[in-house]
Chains A and B, each alone.
Chain A
C-alpha cells in the first residue's frame, strides 16, 4: 500500500530549506516580491553609509521640520536632521534588532527546549518557569527590562528576546516530544546511540524548519516591538536611529508633518510584511500537513 510515489511525497522536506527558493517560484509572485523587497532593504541598509547625504545625527536648529528638498530628499525632523539618512540608517539598527532578537531567542530557546525535552526532571521546573515568563505580558516585561538596563541597543534586544523564549522552548519541546516517538529515533536508541547524540543529530534537525518559521515571526515582531517600546518612551536612544524611535519622535508631529511617521512606518511595514510573507511561505512549504492538503 505504501509503495506509492505520489508527486507530493517526492516533495519531502528533506532538503526543505535548500530547495526553498526553487519551490517558491512555483508559488507565484507574492513571496518573490517579498524576497526582493527584503533583499533591497537589506542591501540599502548595509551600504547606507556609502550614499546617505547627511550624518543622521547632525542636528541643525535652522532646518527643523522642513519638507523634501534637494538637500534633504525626505525633509528633516524636529532636530533638523535629515530624515532620509535617518530612515536608511534606521533600517540597519531595526533589522539588527529583528535578526538579533530572532537569533538569540531561537538559540536560547533551542538549547532550553532540547534540555527540557530530554531531562524529565529539569522539564518540570523549566516549564513552570517558562509558564511564568509567558504569563507576564511581554510589553510590560520589556518596558521593565529596558528601564532596568537603560535603553541601550542590547537591553532592547534582551527585553524583546526574553518574552519570546518560552514560545520557542515550547515549540522545540513539542517537536522533541513528538519526534522521540518516531521509529527512526527508536531505531537510533536500539543502535546504541547516546541521548545527547540522538538529541542533536536526530531531534534537533526536526526543529529547524519550524524554528525558521518561528524565527521570521520573531524577527518581524521584534522590529514592531521596538517601535512600540520607543512609542512608550522605553526604546533605543535617538543617538542610534531606528524606525521605531524615528516614528516615536515624529508622532508628536503626525498632523503637521506626517512624513516623519510615514516613511519609517512604510519601510517598517514593508519589511515586516515581507518577512511575514516569507515566513508564511516557508511554513506552507515545510509543514507536511498543509502540503498533504495541497494533494
Chain B
C-alpha cells in the first residue's frame, strides 16, 4: 500500500511537469503585459520597457522558464508582479475561504444527494425517481450565477434571512461563517447535488441488479439495510469518484460564486490574476489546483481500497 502510494506520487511528477510547461507556454504566448497594468493609463512605451525589465520579463522565454522552474523546485512560487507580495502569502490569504466553502458544500451536497440518489434508484421509474432526475437535470441546466442571484433575491432581499455577501472565517465567528456561507454553498451545491445524485442513482441501479442484492433479500434483510448496507457500499466507488473529480468542477463554480457573493477566495484571485497577467500567481494557482486534483484522485484510489477489499495495491 505504502509502496503503491509512493509510486503514485512519483507518477504525479510527469503530470505536474506537463502542466507546468503547458501553463508557462500558454501564458507567455498570451498577449497582454503586466507592466502596462502596473503602470496605469498615462505610461509611455519607454516607461513600460523599464518596468518590464525590472520584472524580468525582457529575458528570453527559456531563461524565464529556467528561472521559474529553478525557484519552483526550491518551493519558491515567486512574487506577484502586480502586488509585489510573495505568491505563497497571497494564496495563503485566499485559500481558506475557498476550502471552507468547498468542504461545507461537499458535506451539504453529499448529505442531500446520496439519499436522493438512493431513493431514486430504489423507486426506479416512479414519481420519486422522476422528481430526483428532473431536479438533477435542472441543476445542470441553470447557470450558477443565475441561481446565486435568485437566492440573494429571495433569501437576502425579500426575506432578509441571510446576509447578501461576504465571508467570515469559521475560527473568528462560526455562526457568522455559517450565515454567510450558506447561500454560496447552496448555490454551488445545486450543481454538485445534481451530479452526485445522478451518479448515485446510476451506480445504485447497477448494484441493485447484482446477485448479492437478491441474496440479501432472500435472507429476509429489510429494504433499508439492503439499500444502505449492501448496495450503497458497493455503489460507492463511482460515487466517490464523482465527488472527487467534481471537486474540479467545484473550483470552477467557485470562481463565479465567489464573484456573486464576494468571497475572497482563490477563484477570484486566479481570475483576477489571469486578467492582470500576473504570471507567477496564475502559474502557481494552476499548478496548485492541478496538484490538488491529482492528490484528490490519489485519495480516492486509497479510499477505494478501504471500501472495497478486492482492490489492493
Contact = CB atoms under 8 A, between A and B. Distances in A.
Nearest to A254: B149
B270 interface: yes
A144 B30 contact: yes
Contacts of A251: 145, 149
Nearest to A131: B15
B137 A276 contact: yes
B132 to A, nearest CB: 12
A160 B208 CA distance: 36
Given A132-B19, A148-B26, A139 B252 contact: yes
Given A143-B274, A148-B30, A273-B137, A135 B206 contact: no
Contacts, number: 135
A283 B73 CA distance: 46
A40 interface: no
Contacts of B290: 132, 135-136
B18 interface: yes
B4 interface: no
A137 B16 CA distance: 13
B83 to A, nearest CB: 19
Contacts of A289: 206, 209
B131 to A, nearest CB: 12
A204 interface: no
Contacts of A60: none
Contacts of B19: 132, 135-136
B140 A140 contact: no
A261 B138 CA distance: 17
B294 A135 contact: yes
B256 A232 contact: yes
A120 interface: no
Given A140-B270, A145-B26, A148-B29, A280 B282 contact: no
Interface string A202-230: 00000000000000000011001001100
Interface stretch (A6-14, A110-118, A185-193, A264-272): A264-272
Contacts of A141: 286
Contacts of B311: none
Interface residues of B, number: 50
B251 interface: yes
B79 interface: no
Given A147-B274, A232-B255, A293-B206, A272 B146 contact: no
A178 B309 CA distance: 23
A254 B164 CA distance: 15
Contacts of B270: 140
A144 B274 contact: yes
B208 A293 contact: yes
Contacts of A293: 124, 205-206, 208-209
A137 B252 contact: yes
Contact of B289 (A129, A137, A261): A137
A129 to B, nearest CB: 6
Contacts of B144: 228
Given A128-B14, A228-B143, A147 B293 contact: no
A251 B256 CA distance: 13
A265 B143 contact: yes
Interface string A256-293: 00000100010011101100110010000000011011
B133 A280 contact: yes
Nearest to B285: A140
B23 interface: yes
Find the residue from A138, A140, A292 having the highest chain B CB count within 10 A. A140
B243 to A, nearest CB: 16
Interface string B253-282: 001100100000000001100110000001
Nearest to B14: A128
A225 to B, nearest CB: 9
B30 A147 contact: yes
B104 interface: no
Contacts of A231: 143, 145, 256, 259
Contact of A136 (B22, B142, B256, B271): B22
B91 interface: no
B153 A276 contact: no
A144 B138 contact: no
B286 A220 contact: no
A11 B18 CA distance: 45
Given A132-B18, A135-B290, A265-B146, 4 more contacts: A132-B14, A140-B289, A148-B31, A228-B256
Instruction: In the A-B complex, list the 3 residue pairs whose CB atoms are closest, starting with the nearest.
Output: A132-B18, A139-B252, A135-B290
13 contacts: A128-B14, A135-B291, A135-B293, A137-B252, A147-B32, A148-B29, A228-B256, A261-B146, A261-B149, A273-B137, A289-B209, A290-B206, A293-B209
Interface of B: 14-16, 18-19, 22-23, 26-27, 29-32, 124, 130, 133, 137-138, 140-146, 149, 153, 202, 205-206, 208-209, 248, 251-252, 255-256, 259, 270-271, 274-275, 282, 285-286, 289-291, 293-294
